[in-house]
């Protein structure tokens, strides 16, 4: 009898547990369906609003609606509008000036400035990132102050924003910028500062520095395409340590001017294969189609012969990489380059064949390799 009662009790327990489990699963299913429905409904509503905002912005861009009427119709209190404007700025869906005007008129800039007072670094970095896409720098003191922030991410975000605006404060803060960072981020810093297009005169505090790292940075930043004024300054660094000599040659290559040939001519017998390799690459950049027109204007014969003369020595270099890049550079010199490549057909059959093929197909753009 006891066994029967115990069996009935276990059966009832299992029975009620199954019922409760079924009810629980039913409740979960109902909740899940409701949330999915709510999410889909909200997404559809957002997409409709985005389409509505897009049409309004187009009308404003085309001058069919005044700014004050636009702001009213946009429903600027809508929590999604700010994100939509930022999204369009990132995608470059509209003129940035239009998006910036709307963003400021809706009061979002004031909210951003309040966000900069936060102690949380990511809010500051996020704000500068938004301003970067919208090209906002209404009051630069907020950004300049954070250029020397204690937080890496905030400093980099501030630097990114200031370089986009090519802010003149950068040339005054160059040394300070590098003090806060290890050498591991020098490449990033150099790329950003290159984009800032700091005038040659503004780089003096770097190139005159006794600090090897800063001097090297100055040499790198002198190498901006078309910046011929840098060439006379770069001559002063051709006797520096190997890494700086390499940067001198790279900078001449980036400038892409035949006026840098004299320095390359002087340095062609450099002891370092790294430097000689960079000379071959620099000559390839100078003689590429983008620069060759300038080469022909100055002197059809003499300067072309100068390039071929230097490459002739580099083609015979003991270092494989130097020879390879010298051959590739010759591909940019048309018929004269091919004639020189042909001279080495027996000695280097493989590389000369490849170089000739590249020459007939327009040469090599060293900026892409």
Residues 68 and 128 in one domain: no
Residue 53 lies in a domain: yes
State how many domains the chain has: 2
Residue 265 lies in a domain: no
- What torsion do the CA atoms of 300, 301, 304, 305 make, to the nearest 10 degrees? 180
Residues whose CB is less than 8 angstroms from the CB of residue 274 and which lie 6 or more positions away in sequence, other chains included: 242, 246
Pick from 251, 226, 253: which is nearest to 236 by CA? 251
Residue 229 lies in a domain: no
- DSSP H or E stretch at residue 182: none
Residues 56 and 81 in one domain: yes
Residue 247 lies in a domain: no
Write out the two tokens for 116. 């900069």
Query: Residue written as tokens 């900026």?
Result: 367
- What torsion do the CA atoms of 254, 366, 328, 233 make, to the nearest 10 degrees? 10
Residues 62 and 125 in one domain: no
Q: Assess contact for 166 and 205: CB atoms under 8 A.
A: no
Q: Assess contact for 107 and 71: CB atoms under 8 A.
A: no
Residue 166 lies in a domain: yes
Residues 127 and 177 in one domain: yes
Residues 131 and 189 in one domain: yes
Q: Among 152, 168, 197, where does a domain finish? A: 197
What's phi and psi for 142, nearest 5 deg? -65, -35
Residue 174 lies in a domain: yes
How would you write the pLDDT of the chain (369 residues) with one tens digit per residue?
Answer: 555 555 566 666 777 788 888 888 888 889 888 888 888 887 887 788 888 888 988 988 888 888 888 888 887 777 788 999 999 999 887 888 889 988 998 889 999 999 888 889 999 999 999 999 999 987 678 888 888 888 889 999 999 999 998 998 888 888 888 888 889 999 999 999 999 999 999 999 899 999 999 999 999 999 999 899 999 999 999 899 999 999 999 999 999 988 899 999 999 999 999 999 999 999 999 987 445 555 555 544 667 888 999 999 999 999 999 999 999 999 998 888 999 999 999 999 999 999 999 999 888 889 887
Domain interval for residue 128: 119-197
Residues 80 and 134 in one domain: no
Q: Among 197, 214, 240, where does a domain finish? A: 197
Rounded to two decimals, the pTM is 0.79
- What torsion do the CA atoms of 90, 91, 93, 99 make, to the nearest 10 degrees? -10
């Amino acid at each position: 009898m006891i066994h029967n009662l115990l069996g009935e009790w276990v059966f009832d327990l299992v029975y009620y547990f199954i019922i409760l489990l079924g009810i629980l699963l039913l409740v979960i299913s109902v909740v899940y369906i409701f949330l999915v429905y709510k999410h889909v409904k909200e997404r559809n509503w957002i997409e409709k609003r985005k389409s509505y905002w897009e049409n309004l912005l187009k009308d404003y861009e085309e001058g069919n609606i005044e700014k004050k009427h636009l702001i009213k119709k946009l429903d600027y209190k809508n929590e999604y509008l700010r994100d939509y404007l930022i999204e369009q700025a990132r995608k470059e869906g509209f003129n940035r000036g239009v998006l910036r005007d709307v963003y400021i008129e809706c009061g979002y800039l004031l909210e951003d400035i309040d966000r900069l007072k936060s102690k949380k670094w990511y809010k500051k970095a996020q704000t500068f990132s938004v301003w970067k896409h919208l090209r906002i720098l209404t009051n630069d003191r907020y950004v300049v102050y954070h250029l020397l922030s204690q937080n890496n991410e905030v400093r980099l975000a501030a630097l990114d924003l200031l370089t986009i605006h090519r802010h003149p404060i950068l040339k005054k803060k160059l040394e300070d910028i590098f003090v806060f960072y290890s050498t591991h981020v020098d490449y990033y810093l150099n790329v950003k500062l290159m984009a800032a297009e700091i005038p040659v005169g503004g780089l003096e505090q770097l190139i005159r520095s006794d600090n090897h790292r800063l001097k090297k940075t100055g040499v790198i930043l002198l190498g901006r395409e078309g910046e011929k004024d840098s060439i006379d300054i770069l001559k002063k660094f051709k006797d520096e340590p190997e890494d700086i000599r390499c940067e001198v040659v790279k900078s001449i290559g980036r400038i892409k001017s035949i006026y840098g040939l004299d320095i390359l001519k002087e340095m062609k017998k450099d002891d370092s294969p790294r430097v000689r390799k960079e000379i071959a690459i620099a000559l390839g950049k100078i003689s590429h189609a983008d620069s060759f027109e300038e080469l022909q204007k100055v002197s059809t014969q003499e300067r072309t012969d100068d390039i071929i003369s230097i490459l002739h020595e580099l083609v015979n270099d003991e270092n494989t990489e130097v020879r390879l890049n010298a051959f590739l550079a010759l591909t940019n010199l048309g018929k004269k380059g091919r004639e020189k490549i042909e001279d080495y057909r027996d000695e280097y059959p493989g590389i000369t064949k490849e170089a000739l093929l590249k020459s007939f197909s327009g040469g090599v753009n060293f900026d892409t390799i």
